[in-house]
Structure 1
């Protein structure tokens, strides 16, 4: 520190002979008193606002003085082999994206990501990772996207993803996995909101079909370019996904085995398959009864040993592993038997079987089961109204419309005052509606295309017969249909004594 100060002071000579005290003091403050929190950009990196890029610098060790204000840090295309827990002296509180791809990382030590608690995107692709341990991703509770493709991963130990509560996308393509990592979905504390899993280009020979059918997000599992064994269960799964129009099989038809449009693979119950269209059907039964639901597209004489899965509203059952204590079981011919039906059994049931055919857009492999009365349970298990309720609603609506129309007509055509009997007018107050605006003199007002004229009111007890100057002359105004009963005819004036009474 003392040598640094002396160097700073030695550089304050101005003109080669005399020193400036003010300049020396300023330089000393810059050298010794500059705040440490405002870090400068490391020499091998490029900094732009909150982005720090140290990519392609052949770094074998991480720069120690990385700025903490970064929200994106790019360390790709270097020679990093390990990530220690103290690779930065202080936590990155604002870092959201960390790119470590294209390195030689083979080891990630315990709590290496504890310094990035708010990380959202982590790219570890194209490295040399072989085993993912329990402590590999500790502390990444807010991580949403994890890229691990193009590594050498052969094993994923239990609990590896237990801290990744917010993980939505996981890329494991291009590794050496021989077993489907189903623990990603079922382990406690794991990423239960995972909507995208890429397992393509691995060494998977089989997949847990029934477990995959139970997942809520099947439309985001990519399995292309794996040496999968082409059996009837896998064929049924891929046919079901293709009927659902899932992107993993629709976008990679040529790279997925056991495709429904391929003649290669096993022969699965072609003798029992029907050529008739698969039409959605509804089966209704009273609670407590036992009834059977045939599988769409399969004949009752389907050969035994056919693998058939039924996706129910609550779980998945198949024809090979029936639980004797379960109320739902699949018969050898693929028919679903429901014993002691409950109202909770109402819903949509999908029959997943290898039919080895392409489905039309109007066909369906699902059926609707209703337990109870149609008036109390709908196809989705929710109550709906009966026909009497619909009739009452329609009648009430119609009556309301009729009453509204009558009120509008009364408002439009009812005389605003009652003419006194044996009097010469309506007490000097009247409203005249004129159909032709040209027939009304000045002083009238326009409202919705009609003319409204007001007569000057007369005081009570005044002589009606006495001459009074009117507000406007209506002697020649011709009116049409002022009153609803039509007693006034076209051409009659307001001065007609017959209609002034």
Structure 2
């Protein structure tokens, strides 16, 4: 805050041209009093070595070895790149930056980051530490950055990442670690108890990786596998790695599509990188290959599923990984239940099939050739009457089929009821307005008659096959006489064929009163 004090004091000294001397002196005295009492000034000036534009503060290229103490706290982006910062201790930031979202520390000489170094910047979304001198990422080095989404660490000298280094970074989505000296794949990023949960982009290119954890990588969701970049590493091309790369080429993941020539095993098509000789690879054009398909089995039975597209091995055992709906299988101990195992020839065996075993199984094996158009390493297993959706990749115990059957039955019942109601209530009926010996006794508002031919009604003809059904509710004033109401009925020659709704009569009762015959 020293520049603010000097600025106000200078204005006070030049009071003759800017403001009255008494006003300038009062302003300076008030500012000094507020500083002595510990109250910060309401106006924050831009440091002399920085450039400020609205909420952006840039101190890039100033060769700063320490952070200026009078940085404005309203900044959302702070650029300290191209400086001489050698370490980030716990108190390297003197004041909280609650609004800071982007912090750029690239191209400094940072070799050490202490815990809680970012405690005063809890809302960072983008942190750039690229092109520094970091060699080891200690535990909890990024503690407090729970909202961080992008972390740039490329161009350092990182040789080791200790457990817990990325603990708490639950919001991390993109991590750049290329151009370092890593020799082991940081699986903790995906398997750590407190690590990122939504990591979609991991750049490990141009490190010193010689082995890739193929089985662990295949166990990741597809949206995470698709964002792993491994090009430019001295990877040893064995049958397991070749199987993984061929599978990723078939899936058309961006790392293989964009940097295919920078991977081993001759994926670039230029002959660079010899492919290993793996059992099950194509030996000639006349070989017969097992195609993908649907395999059905009854619950409790055993099933063997050959690896699609893999030739029968003439010698040796092929390296085959089976990506099951709930696990990635290679050795007999990979399935906790012990019912799923991979045979030496690459065939998957399911012992005592259960309904939950239904689903899509993918055989990842080194075939030594590109996939033909329309060819797939997937096989569908259906247990019992269960059905698997084409894009589901797993079974649901026949729930879809059962739902369809129940829905069809319910729809049929509803349609039948609607048709019955339409027949009972909407069939045209001609009712006479009067009857001999009685007053007006038509349909009125109390009855809907389903009559036979109206001409028969008018002529008084009665036919045994002319069924008539009436729904009547007694109403006051409906009869000229004060006698009791008699519910209507269906009668042909005095015999009741059926009563659908009547609270006082039973089926089969004989009625003889002609006054109530429709």
Q: Same fold (TM over 0.5)?
A: yes
Q: Secondary structure at the match of 1:25?
A: helix
82-91 or 139-148, which deviates more: 82-91
Taking the aligned partners of 1:62 and 1:388, their CA distance within structure 2 comes to: 67
Q: Secondary structure at the match of 2:296?
A: strand
Match of 1:465 in 2: none
Taking the aligned partners of 2:323 and 2:304, their CA distance within structure 1 comes to: 15
Taking the aligned partners of 1:277 and 1:37, their CA distance within structure 2 comes to: 79
Q: How does 1:159-198 map to 2 (within 5 A)?
A: 159-198=164-203
Match of 1:237 in 2: 244
In structure 2, relative to structure 1, the CA distance for the partners of 1:330 and 1:261 (3 Å cut) is farther
In structure 2, relative to structure 1, the CA distance for the partners of 1:42 and 1:332 (3 Å cut) is same
2:242 is aligned with 1:267:
no
Q: Secondary structure at the match of 1:149?
A: coil
Match of 1:21 in 2: 22
Match of 1:332 in 2: 344
Residues matched between the structures, number: 423
Taking the aligned partners of 1:271 and 1:368, their CA distance within structure 2 comes to: 24
Match of 1:11 in 2: 13
Match of 1:369 in 2: 381
Instruction: Give the TM-score normalised by structure 1.
Output: 0.73
Query: Which of the residues 75, 92, 104 maps onto 2:80?
Result: 75
In structure 2, relative to structure 1, the CA distance for the partners of 1:283 and 1:41 (3 Å cut) is same
Taking the aligned partners of 1:385 and 1:105, their CA distance within structure 2 comes to: 58
Q: How does 1:340-379 map to 2 (within 5 A)?
A: 340-371=352-383, 373-375=384-386
Taking the aligned partners of 2:8 and 2:192, their CA distance within structure 1 comes to: 61
> Where does structure 1 lack aligned partners over 5 or more consecutive residues?
422-501
In structure 2, relative to structure 1, the CA distance for the partners of 1:368 and 1:117 (3 Å cut) is same
Deviations 1:112-154 (A, max 9, x none): 1111111111100011111111132121121111100011111
Q: How does 1:70-219 map to 2 (within 5 A)?
A: 70-216=75-221, 217-219=224-226
- Contact 1:13–1:20 (Cα < 8 Å) also in 2: yes
Match of 2:513 in 1: none
Structure 1 residue 26, shift from structure 2 partner: 3.3
Match of 1:36 in 2: 40
Structure 1 residue 14, shift from structure 2 partner: 3.6
Structure 1 residue 85, shift from structure 2 partner: 1.4
Structure 1 residue 20, shift from structure 2 partner: 4.1
Deviations 1:230-257 (A, max 9, x none): 1111000000111111111111111111
In structure 2, relative to structure 1, the CA distance for the partners of 1:329 and 1:43 (3 Å cut) is same
Structure 1 residue 80, shift from structure 2 partner: 1.4
Structure 1 residue 390, shift from structure 2 partner: 5.5
Taking the aligned partners of 1:309 and 1:5, their CA distance within structure 2 comes to: 71
Q: Secondary structure at the match of 2:164?
A: coil
> Where does structure 2 lack aligned partners over 5 or more consecutive residues?
435-518
- Contact 1:9–1:24 (Cα < 8 Å) also in 2: no
In structure 2, relative to structure 1, the CA distance for the partners of 1:272 and 1:398 (3 Å cut) is farther
Match of 1:291 in 2: 303
Taking the aligned partners of 1:377 and 1:14, their CA distance within structure 2 comes to: 88
Deviations 1:383-413 (A, max 9, x none): 55788985886687689889999999xx999
- Contact 1:9–1:28 (Cα < 8 Å) also in 2: no
- Contact 2:305–2:347 (Cα < 8 Å) also in 1: yes
Match of 1:493 in 2: none
Match of 1:482 in 2: none
In structure 2, relative to structure 1, the CA distance for the partners of 1:387 and 1:289 (3 Å cut) is closer
- Contact 2:325–2:394 (Cα < 8 Å) also in 1: no
Deviations 1:350-408 (A, max 9, x none): 1000101111342110111122x225776731255788985886687689889999999
Deviations 1:86-132 (A, max 9, x none): 12222211111111011111111221111111111110001111111
- Contact 2:262–2:268 (Cα < 8 Å) also in 1: no
Q: Secondary structure at the match of 2:226?
A: helix
- Contact 1:261–1:356 (Cα < 8 Å) also in 2: no
Taking the aligned partners of 1:14 and 1:386, their CA distance within structure 2 comes to: 88
Q: Secondary structure at the match of 2:321?
A: strand
Structure 1 residue 32, shift from structure 2 partner: 4.5
Q: Secondary structure at the match of 1:369?
A: strand
Taking the aligned partners of 1:285 and 1:247, their CA distance within structure 2 comes to: 37
Taking the aligned partners of 2:66 and 2:72, their CA distance within structure 1 comes to: 16
318-327 or 106-115, which deviates more: 318-327
Taking the aligned partners of 2:140 and 2:345, their CA distance within structure 1 comes to: 48
- Contact 2:320–2:346 (Cα < 8 Å) also in 1: yes
Q: How does 1:39-78 map to 2 (within 5 A)?
A: 39-78=44-83
Deviations 1:146-186 (A, max 9, x none): 10001111111111111212111110001111111112222
Taking the aligned partners of 2:283 and 2:346, their CA distance within structure 1 comes to: 10
